[in-house]
Amino acid sequence: MNSKGGLIARYRASQLKKDLPPRAKKVISRIEEIIGTWIGNPNMYAMALRHRSKLVESEFQDHESYEQLEFLGDAVLDLIVAELIYNRYPKQDEGFMTQMRSRIVRAETLAMLADKLKLAEIIEIGDRVRDQGIENSVNVMSDIFEALIGAVYRDRGFPVVFAFVERVILSEIDFSNIEQERDNFKSLLLEFAQSHKLGTPTYRTSEVEGPDHDRVYTIQVLIGTEVRGMGTGKSKKKAEQKAAEDALASYGLPTP
């Protein structure tokens, strides 16, 4: 966007912000502090911070919670983290970089980042579930973080979202500690399957239990068409790790 176009977009954004109710205006100002720049579409960020429990009581449409932006943000985050790792470890092999990325984008790490940014203070939750601890859910907060990334990407583009994610990750994550971790069972299973020409493991959800803010997922991992492992967890990523660990054990392989 040229400088003139940027000024026009920023002016329009300022006018939209003026028309917001007081609480929404405060939330948008807080988001601008978090991402380090102005935002153009306040509604995009409101959706990124809206939990599904708010939809029914406020008559929103099914797609107006954070879930669609979380889907987009997940893909954008994977790309940004992959580039950060590639730039940091240019001489490492694919297996190492895959493990590093998986450790960074797992739900527990993303929920930690959401906590550092204090996103729990500005998420929008339905009144009926306000005291059920949704803001303490690893699964929800990791999804909210990814939804925010999706909103920044849609609103301001890749350079802006890259700068935001890079700043947060480099300031809050200790890469040297992550290098020492040996619990990435998905990466270990992928390496084993590829080295034995078994194909790429695939993961499918076989069961979901519990309310929106406290889901328990059961995941199966398949090698070819055969189910080789199963795991459960509070997030899909954690359940997938458990399933991969179970699959490794089924092949008689020791796990760290």
Tokens of 42: 């306040």
Q: Is the distance from CB of 55 to CB of 62 less than 8 angstroms? A: yes
- 135 classed as catalytic: no
Q: List the one residue out of 184, 185, 188, 178 whose CA is nearest residue 88.
A: 178
246 is catalytic: no
The three-state secondary structure class of 130 is coil
DSSP 122: T
Cα distance between residue 25 and residue 19, in whole Å: 8
Query: Whole-angstrom Cα distance, residue 161 to residue 158?
Result: 5
**Residue from 70, 135, 146, 155 carrying the catalytic annotation:** 146
Beta-strand ranges (E) seen in the chain are: 202-209, 216-223, 226-233
Return d(Cα 109, Cα 129) in angstroms, integer: 25
- 74, 143, 155, 245: which is the annotated catalytic residue? 74
Contact between residue 146 and residue 237 where contact means Cβ atoms under 8 Å apart: no
Measuring CA to CA, which residue among 67, 211, 60, 47 is closest to residue 132? 211
Among residues 99, 108, 78, 92, the alpha carbon closest in space to that of 189 is found at 99
The catalytic residues are 74, 146
